[in-house]
Amino acid sequence: MKQLLLVFMGGGAGSALRFLISRSLNQATVLPLGTLMVNVVGSLLIGFLLGMGYRQQVLSTNAMLLLATGFCGGFTTFSAFSYENQVFLKAGDFLSLGIYIVSSLILGVAAVFGGIYFSRFF
Distance CA 52, CA 122 (A): 8
Query: CB–CB of 115/49 below 8 Å?
Result: yes
Closest CA to 81 of 61, 102, 101: 101
Closest CA to 116 of 58, 40, 45, 62: 45
Distance CA 39, CA 61 (A): 23
Query: CB–CB of 84/19 below 8 Å?
Result: no
- Residue 73 marked in a binding site: yes
Annotated binding-site positions for Na(+): 73, 76
Residue ranges of the annotated binding site are: 73, 76
